[in-house]
Structure 1
Amino acid sequence: MNSPSVLIEKVLTRVAKKLNIEKWRYELENMSGNMVNYMGNLFPVALIDKTSDVTIYLMIKTDSSALVPAIEPFANGAYKREDYVYTTLVPLFKKIANNSDDFFPECYFADSSKDNRVLVLQNMSVFGFERHNKGRFLDKEHIILILEAVAKLHSFSLILREKNIEPPNNEVMEPFMTNKEPHYAYCLKRCFKKYGVDLFEGTQFENFFKNMYSSMDDMTQFIENSVKNAHTLVYGHGDIWKENFLFKYIDNKPVQVCLLDYQLTHLMTPARDVLFLLINSIESSIRREHYQTFLSTYYKALKVSLKANGIDPSTVYSEEKFRDDIKLVFPMCFCVTIFSFALWLGLENLISLVDTAGSVNVDTQKDNVELFIKIIGDIITDFRDFGTTST
């Protein structure tokens, strides 16, 4: 694999050619905020047209998996999916939607081939977007803004379908299936055993984890249930959590959101993105107070986008079907949540999560283990009370 500097120059040559810039130079910028990306390295770059003295601010993502062979299967699919989103889906979406640019950064270059994996986007921080850096969880205002954007994203797939516009086939965008993603299914189950069944043994949630784990005896059925029994499928984001959003603020209030990192995008029920956000990105008190408002906010935004394109929401995806799908996807979303919080809280890194053998070291990670137990316990209690799960 090329070194970062060589790859950056090679990529910028392609970008400059695309933009008809004959003489140029570039400068590496300082990263704005502590942005997180587990599947790549981020390089903010200023591409400077030496003739016109115009500067274009870019964010370059390069693959980091060459140093970690164990995560190669994840990286392969991740870069292919994001390449497809920006080069194939986004142009289609922009043809059918109004003002879709507000959460799709312009893509200047994408390559998902193994030795040259790279993505070049607008650096949205130049336009006033920034990451949320006021705590681990988001407040009501941020969540509502995200739900409205995600609803619009989902509506694009439904609009394409109703207009009989078929995106070019790409098997990497098909629903996650165990026969195509065996490493993913393996990691989820191993992680659930370690951070669910074993960690919560002897607690009030012991039976919950044992019962859900028993449903994973057939991982094919466990994973595919949320696909085959869903009322509809769309191109969902797939990795909805607070680090994959940038916000624009006015008077410290979020007024606009930009969605990033489509490396887990695939066909899924719309409910999966929504539920995953409400599970992982808000604390229990906010979730319990506003849960029904959040669900209604999402569906209202979906209706608005569909109706604006002459589509009757009740015929393509009614609110009743959406709420049915919320219950359907809970087991899968919860399983992924266990995996995610083990990563986000530093109990594991992406490499060790590929093989989560051994028990949790409670002594050396006591504070984070206790936080993990509190967060996960609150999730179970909340969604039992909501009637989302009866496990």
Structure 2
Amino acid sequence: VMAAWLTAEYLEAALRRYYQNNELRVESMVINPALGKGENYGAILTRIHLVYSSIVEEHLIAKTVLEYEDAETKMKKAPYDIYNRELEIYEQVLPKLQELAGEQLCPKILHIDRQRGALIMEDLSYKGFVMAPRLQRLDEQHVSLVLRKLAKMQAASAVLENNLLENNFSLTEYDKGFFNRYTESFSAYFLGCLKSCANYLKTQAGYEHHAKLLDELAPYYMGLGLRCFKQEQTHINVLTHGDLWTNNMMFKYEAGVPSDVLLIDFQYAFWGSPTLDIHHLLNTSAVEQVRSELQMKMRGVYHDVFVGELQRLGFKGQRLPSRKQFHLESEQKRFYAVHCGLLLLPVLLNTDETDADFAALLSDQPRGMDMKRRLYLNPGIQDSIKQMVKHFELEGLLDPWQYEGL
């Protein structure tokens, strides 16, 4: 449902402010939903085509809050403060990061409405950017491009944080990732998916043992996730994207080869380990060959650019990590790969539109549990789940005590 207040008059006032032109008049407007059901769980995206001052066309995207969510869902999402966080990051942080990085990282923002929790941004599809097909997942070229862009953004954030400390503002205030010390309001979502995954594996010959391990992991699950999101003071922390999967990025192509990527959707951005975004991307959005065979190589792609950018920008914080150190940091946070692969992947590659909304994900009632059960009936993810759960067991990542003594 598109926001009723998103009118030609509203957009005319926003454009007048942006272009500092009080003569600007919107003469026509066409609006359409930008994504279908099950394509986006966190907001409403509306595609807008405007004509103003007779000759100028403007193609925009409006990102607005889900206005008709039930009270319980709103209450569970409230501690994350996702709308205000994203507006603030687009308004105050990303312009500084782009300046340091020396290149565009995200769409151009034309208007921010804090009262309504809304963003008006350029429609990147008219600048030659497209969203990769989410069900196909990303190959090595795409993943490498994303990791290089991510490394530039995150190196800039580490340098910016050093500079901000003198200005009484700190990026460390963004401390509400998916797992955080303030709330466990997503536990029905996470533990419901864990249970559904275990129940699916019980039906697969040879995977009963893995199902039992997942059931036994449940009481410790939220604590293990929280451990991944802990800031390690001896490591270089960064502003992570926090939700780095296929639908939160757009690619530009030259002769069929991806040449640039821009990141969108910073609702879950938080201050923490850069390795978490890498785990997220590889285990939700990479094709099986990249996920299963090229993890080390992809970490290296990120590490090379990250360290190079920190050197270029004169980073004065912790010692720059060697490649070996970076692998050790990645392993320390690797339980998050379990979360991304076994729980997030089925949600993000869901093809069943029935009840495909955030309210169902967050609910432990029959509608919500049935939706989560059906996620694991998708043939497109079942082989991945089986491969991953075997690897995760071999790595000791299904052990409730894996962090003891570390």
Residue 280 of structure 2 corresponds to residue 270 of structure 1: no
Distance 1:233 1:33, change over 3 A: same
Q: Which of residues 32, 43, 48 in structure 1 aligns to 2:46? A: 43
- 1:24 maps to a residue whose letter is R
Which moved further from structure 2: 318-327 or 124-133?
318-327
CA distance in 1, matches of 2:50, 2:153: 30
Other-structure match for 2:256: 252
Tell me by how many angstroms 1:285 deviates: 2.4
SS in 2 for 1:200: helix
- 1:197 maps to a residue whose letter is A
Q: Which of residues 66, 69, 72 in structure 1 aligns to 2:71? A: 69
Other-structure match for 1:376: 385
Q: Which of residues 342, 347, 359 in structure 2 aligns to 1:351? A: 359
The superposition leaves residues 279-337 of structure 1 with CA deviations (integer Å, 9 ceiling, x where unpaired) of 11123223333222211111111122112212389814443332223222222342244
The superposition leaves residues 101-124 of structure 1 with CA deviations (integer Å, 9 ceiling, x where unpaired) of 2x22111222344xx121111111
CA contact (8 A) 2:132 2:246 kept: yes
- 1:92 maps to a residue whose letter is K
CA distance in 1, matches of 2:216, 2:286: 28
Other-structure match for 1:196: 197
The superposition leaves residues 169-194 of structure 1 with CA deviations (integer Å, 9 ceiling, x where unpaired) of 5887214355523212342123212x
SS in 1 for 2:91: helix
Tell me by how many angstroms 1:389 deviates: 4.0
Residue 343 of structure 2 corresponds to residue 339 of structure 1: yes
Residue 229 of structure 2 corresponds to residue 221 of structure 1: no
Tell me by how many angstroms 1:14 deviates: 2.8
Aligned residues between the structures: 382
Distance 1:157 1:32, change over 3 A: same
Gapped regions of structure 1 (runs ≥ 5): none
Tell me by how many angstroms 1:202 deviates: 5.9
Q: TM-score, normalization: structure 2? A: 0.81
SS in 2 for 1:151: helix
Distance 1:94 1:138, change over 3 A: closer
The 5 Å alignment of 1:278-297 reads 278-297=282-301
Which moved further from structure 2: 298-307 or 127-136?
127-136
Distance 1:12 1:207, change over 3 A: farther
CA distance in 2, matches of 1:270, 1:81: 19
CA distance in 2, matches of 1:179, 1:309: 32
SS in 1 for 2:202: coil
Distance 1:226 1:67, change over 3 A: closer
Other-structure match for 2:402: none
Q: CA RMSD in A?
A: 3.3
The 5 Å alignment of 1:1-391 reads 4-8=3-7, 9-22=9-22, 23-25=24-26, 26-28=28-30, 36-50=39-53, 53-72=55-74, 73-74=76-77, 77-99=81-103, 101=104, 103-113=105-115, 116-133=116-133, 135-163=135-163, 165=165, 168-169=169-170, 173-176=174-177, 178-193=180-195, 195-201=196-202, 203=204, 204-211=206-213, 213-218=215-220, 221-228=223-230, 230=232, 231-311=235-315, 315-344=319-348, 345-346=350-351, 349=356, 350-357=358-365, 368-382=377-391, 387=395, 389=397, 391=399
Tell me by how many angstroms 1:34 deviates: 6.3
CA distance in 2, matches of 1:191, 1:134: 20
Distance 1:208 1:168, change over 3 A: farther
CA contact (8 A) 1:238 1:273 kept: yes
Distance 1:175 1:329, change over 3 A: farther
Gapped regions of structure 2 (runs ≥ 5): 400-406
CA contact (8 A) 2:82 2:268 kept: yes
CA contact (8 A) 1:147 1:298 kept: yes
Distance 1:131 1:47, change over 3 A: same
Tell me by how many angstroms 1:136 deviates: 2.2
The superposition leaves residues 123-145 of structure 1 with CA deviations (integer Å, 9 ceiling, x where unpaired) of 11111001113852111111111
CA distance in 2, matches of 1:201, 1:368: 13
Q: TM-score, normalization: structure 1? A: 0.84
Tell me by how many angstroms 1:95 deviates: 3.4
CA distance in 2, matches of 1:379, 1:388: 12
- 1:118 maps to a residue whose letter is A
CA distance in 1, matches of 2:174, 2:364: 27
Tell me by how many angstroms 1:221 deviates: 2.9
CA contact (8 A) 2:171 2:271 kept: no
CA distance in 1, matches of 2:314, 2:99: 15
Tell me by how many angstroms 1:6 deviates: 2.1
